[in-house]
Structure 1
Amino acid sequence: MDVFFHRLILLLLVKRMKLTASFFSRQWDELPIELVELLFPRLSLVDCLRLPSVCKGWSKTSSFFWKGRVCPWLMHLPNLKYRSCKFFDPCKEYTQKSNAVLGAHDHLSLHFSKDGWVVITEGKKSVFLLNPFTSQVINLPLLPLKDYFFDGISFTSVPTSPDFVVYGFFFQICGEFFEISSWRPGEEEWSVLQFWQSIPFFPSSNNPVLLRGEFYCLGRKGELGVFNPELETWNVLCKLELIHRTVPHYGNEYCHLLELDGDLISVFRTDDIRTSIRAFKLDQLEMVWKKLEHLGGMTFFVDRRNSIAITSPEKNYANRIYVPWFEDGMNSNKGIFYCMEDNKYHPSMHRVDGPVTCVWMVPNLLSS
């Protein structure tokens, strides 16, 4: 173990002194991957991102991220020009320069993240996908209509895979008519499906969840709408016992839909810190939302559009719901979370703030 910690010190020296990894690679490459992965819980986020690039043998440690052993962090655009993006995890804030990608864009909004990619709109017509860690960009066709607004957006798989498809959901205010737009690589425009429904559906502002080949959309009453992309069908689950009897006014409550290990979870919260957050798990046999008094070993990360549920990598993060707020303004390193044990927000908040456009995401350092 003395050799192990000696080599750890050398690693930190490389980071601080900017020495080339090849100078030491002959020694470090001999370390078993299992020992290398023990470093992750003890390193900062930035060091974790750099670790796979130390030598060829250590590049395999990038799979560590995909096993859910690290927390998501919040990506946000800090200023009007959006010349860089920032990342905030529950402990520290980091800045990721991405001028080559973001420098030519203005008025950007973050909408969704998956597999390390983020869906971003520019203005009211343009949409593209960005991997902020590899600087890869995929430009999508212009949106179908002027001032087109997606109530939810998602995609099926990693954007570089052959079966990649983007789906955008647009609902009319009356809840009786909606459109689903889709795009596949190589297509020059969006394909549009239109649905008229006898049961009005009033969507939440959260994105749909892809589960077992179908997209689940959460309504503001707690209903679930299901879109099957293969059959091109839409159904509202009528047998589901609802959380609200009437439709809450849009904006009074944020409704989040999450998936973890095949289970659907809904979270309802407001901007009022005096109001408790409510979380429910769908009982798929009885078709009822069952209230969660605690999250056990789970941790939730929710923003206005995107939500992520994970099995907590550390006990300190368990039983918490992280929101995109900061204590005492955006320059603070203290993120805000709701503790399900005492039903309170922490830390104590004198003033809270949050980025205008942000999304929780998990990095993917691989290009495909």
Structure 2
Amino acid sequence: MLDMLTKECFLLSFTSPSKIIPLPPLVDIPRLDLIFNCALSSQTPPDCTVMLAVCRDKSLLYCRPDDTHWSRLPIDNFACDDGDEFDGGIVGYQGKFYATGIHFLLMPHLLHHHLPLRGATLSFRCHVPTPKDSVYRGYLVASCGDIFFVRSYLFGIPDEIVNLEIYHWNPSQDGWNTLHSIGDRTFFLGRNSSVVSSATRAGTEPNCIHILRSVNRKYKKEEKGHDKKIVCSSTEWGQWSNLCLDLVELLVPNISFIDFLHMKAACKQWRSISSRIQDSKVLPLLLTTRPGRRDSLEVFDLMSKKNYSINVSIPGPTSGDDTGASQSQILHFAKNGWVILSRGNHSFFLVNPFKNSPDHVIALPPIRSFDFKGISFFSVPESPDFVVVAIESIRSSTVVTMKTWRIGDEDWKEERFENDIPFFMASHNPVFFEGEFYCLDVSGKLGTFDPDTMEWGVFDELDPVDDQLLSTDYGYSHLMEWKGELVAFFRQCGAEDGSMSFFKLDPTQMVWSELDGLKDGIMFWGRTNVVARSPPPGEDHLCNKMFIPNFSESDGGREHGFYCLEKK
């Protein structure tokens, strides 16, 4: 599979969608209007070679899963005639590749795993020569040890298939034999791929060739008299909505989230497909608001460096205290495609900007306290365990107020807790971890809240962090989950370079252990949120960096701002 935005390539099995084998990025992506096909030397990745043939190209591209880049196998290596070029047809079978050109068939031989490929030119001989003034499209097909070549002749505008020829490769004669039947086989031929099935085992129509074009076509070779029946299938067969939803959903975890949005817009039936943002293989998307555009949110994709605008109808403030503050809009928390934002000082909304349905905006009860420190939620609104949690605290006070809200509640459920020591919430939202919400105060103390039992507690036995590393009243202290552990980081007071200190919680000893950055992860920092992710394949250079909501623009593109933890 090829991601056109990131140029990332990978092998994916639909029977095991969680298993992805990364390939080198394809720097020079073929033109979409050209025919190109891919083939594997074996069906046992990663022990295989991948080869790509592009129409009108004079070389084949190939790589192995552990390579850093794609290599080229020029047509000159095969001693072909001047002017020869590939036509995009290629198949792999029993460790060999077969690639077609305008006047030839090539068989590049695979030598050793770490050695380059070499090729031998095999003659391309057909019993029926191709007229020079004919327009045709060829399909190379491998089936049960046999190699077939299907040639369809085109005529008219828009073109129609007016004739069909089938050839079978005879390796003993280095030539093609004309066929009048494919027997108990069914061919499914597409622009960039082909599938062959046994008609008996698959329950398909035997001796039949399906060619996917702008309108589905079906062609049948008859045994008697070598007759051909050309049938144009109903256009309804080509509707996206006819695809099995279970099959479509297998693609969701393996595409970028922007592509997921495009997929949901393809047809009405696909709008019900759900996806968890964290299951996406790409890095998180940055969601921002723009002043004066209250019905629009902007999405920035770090990998493609592209900016998208999403329209969403967000109502005005629900609190009478917010009169005249309708243009004030702040993002607070995001998870699983849902976002909590506020308008004015007290009005909060739960919004899904990627869901085109009437229930994509949910008004939360107003929060009128000026002691509000953070808000978070668990799961999604459609789930029975969905809950929103908000926290209020006052500096030098021992009182903490926790609020919860669930679908159907008219107001917040509130509990006030008296601590033995002061607890002043730091500048982050509560973090859901192992069934509870964890809160970090400015001195490194850790509190935990169970929304089901409405119980709150502070780990008194947890040793505090060095006072010299703690943030000021208006500095930044954050808590996040990383690989099943809680990690806190603090911006050092008075540090001109903005350097930070990281600590990992040791739950067995109840101590904060200092970390030397996050060398195997990437961090994304927002005003009240920090998340960490593993790098995509081939993007290890992004590790130990913290990306911030800031950009630099040049030549019509955007670069994401970041802080390098190693270089400070």
TM-score, normalising length: structure 2: 0.50
Aligned equivalents of 1:139, 1:184: Cα separation in 2: 12
Contact 1:29/1:57 (8 A) holds in 2: no
Given candidates 73, 90, 94, the residue that maps to 2:307 is: 94
- Given candidates 302, 308, 327, the residue that maps to 2:552 is 327
Partner residue in 2 for 1:236: 458
The answer on whether the counterparts of 2:427 and 2:477 sit within 8 Å (CA) in structure 1 is yes
Shift of 1:273: 6.7
> Greater RCO between the two (CA within 8 Å, min separation 6)?
1
Q: Say whether the 8 Å CA contact 1:87–1:95 is kept in structure 2.
A: yes
Aligned CA distance change for structure 1 residues 100 and 90 (closer, same or farther; 3 Å): same
Cα displacement (A) at 1:86 = 0.5
Residues 37 and 154 (structure 1), Cα distance of their counterparts in 2 relative to 1, 3 Å cut: closer
Q: Which has the higher helix share?
A: 1
Deviation for aligned residue 1:169: 0.2
The structure with more radius of gyration: 2
Q: Which residues of 2 match residues 106-117 of structure 1 at below 5 A?
A: 106-117=327-338
Deviation readout 1:263-318 (Å, 9 max, x if unpaired): 11112237977132222221221222222224243221111211212222234233
Q: 2:561 aligns with which of 322, 329, 336?
A: 336
2:408 is aligned, of 186, 189, 194, to 186
**Letter paired with 1:40:** I
| Contact kept in structure 2, 1:298 and 1:311, CA below 8 Å | yes
Asked whether 1:174 is paired with 2:174, we answer no
Could you tell me which of 323, 328, 346 is aligned with 1:125? 346
Distance 2:280 2:463 in 1: 32
Q: 1-side partners of 2:479 and 2:190: how far apart?
A: 43
Distance 1:181 1:74 in 2: 27
- CA separation in 2, counterparts of 1:34 and 1:58? 9
* Rounded Cα–Cα distance in structure 1 between residues aligned with 2:397 and 2:466: 16
Q: Deviations over 1:185-211 (max 9, x none)?
A: 222211211112121112211011111
Report the alpha carbon displacement of residue 57 of structure 1 after superposing the two structures with TM: 11
Deviation at 1:171, TM superposition (A): 0.1
User: Contact 2:241 / 2:270 at 8 angstroms: preserved in 1?
Assistant: no
Alpha-carbon offset, residue 46 of structure 1: 3.3
Corresponding letter in the other structure for 2:410:
E
Letter of the 1:120 counterpart:
L
Amino acid at match of 1:337: F
- Mapping of residues 53-68 of structure 1, within 5 Å: 54=266, 63=275, 65-68=277-280
Q: Secondary structure at the match of 2:192?
A: helix
196-205 vs 316-325, which moves further: 316-325
Q: 1:27 to 1:273 in 2, by over 3 A?
A: farther
Aligned to 2:376: 154
User: What's the counterpart of residue 356 of structure 1?
Assistant: none
Aligned-pair CA distance for 1:163: 2.3
Could you tell me whether the CA contact under 8 Å between 1:21 and 1:54 is conserved in 2?
no
Q: 1:117 deviation in Å?
A: 0.7
Aligned to 1:76: 288
Q: Compute the displacement of 1:59 (Å).
A: 8.4
The 10-residue stretch of structure 1 (104-113 or 204-213) with the greater mean CA deviation from structure 2: 104-113
Q: How far apart are residue 249 of structure 1 and its match? A: 2.2
Report deviation, 1:152. Answer: 1.2
8 Å CA contact 2:241–2:269 kept in 1: the answer is: no
User: For the residues of structure 2 that align with 1:131 and 1:311, how far apart are their CA atoms?
Assistant: 25
Alpha-carbon separation, structure 2, partners of 1:4 and 1:250: 63
How far the C-alpha of 1:89 sits from its partner, in A, is 2.7
Q: Flag structure 1 segments of 5+ consecutive residues without an equivalent.
A: 8-12, 14-19, 345-368
Structure-2 change in CA distance of 1:307 and 1:177 (3 Å): same
- Residue 209 (structure 1) aligned to one of 408, 431, 435: 431
SS in structure 1 at match of 2:462:
coil
- Which residue of 2 is the match for residue 299 of structure 1? 522
Q: What amino acid is the match of 2:499?
A: S
**Structure 1 residues 6 and 202: alpha-carbon distance in aligned structure 2, compared to 1, 3 A threshold:** same
> Deviation digits for residues 244-274 of structure 1, max 9, x if unmatched?
33764211x3111111332111122379771
Answer yes or no: is the 8 Å Cα contact 1:29–1:56 preserved in 2. no
The question of whether the paired residues in 2 share the 8 Å contact of 1:299 and 1:320 is answered with yes
**In 2, Cα distance between equivalents of 1:138 and 1:187:** 12
Gaps of 5+ in 2: 1-36, 39-188, 194-213, 215-234, 318-325
Partner residue, 1:249: 472
Q: TM-score w.r.t. structure 1 length?
A: 0.75
Match of 2:297?
85
SS at match of 1:100: coil
Instruction: Work out whether residues 223 and 240 of structure 1, in 8 Å CA contact, stay in contact via their aligned partners in 2.
Output: yes
Percent of matched pairs sharing the same residue: 33
Contact kept, 8 Å, 2:254 with 2:280, in 1: the verdict is no
State the secondary structure of the residue aligned to 1:50.
helix
Which of 131-140 and 319-328 deviates more?
A: 319-328
Determine the C-alpha separation between the residues in 1 that align with 2:260 and 2:525: 23
Q: AA paired with 1:124?
A: N
Report the equivalent of 1:138.
362
Q: Which amino acid is 1:336 matched to? A: G
Shift of 1:170: 0.3
Seen in structure 2, the aligned counterparts of structure 1 residues 59 and 225 have a Cα distance that, compared at 3 Å, is: same
- Higher mean C-alpha displacement, 301-310 vs 287-296: 287-296
Work out whether residues 253 and 279 of structure 2, in 8 Å CA contact, stay in contact via their aligned partners in 1. no
Matching residue of 1:287: 510
The DSSP-based 3-state class of the residue aligned with 2:313 is: helix
Q: SS where residue 186 of structure 1 aligns?
A: coil
Q: Is the 8 A contact 1:75 1:88 kept in 2?
A: yes
Q: Where does residue 350 of structure 1 map in the other structure?
A: none
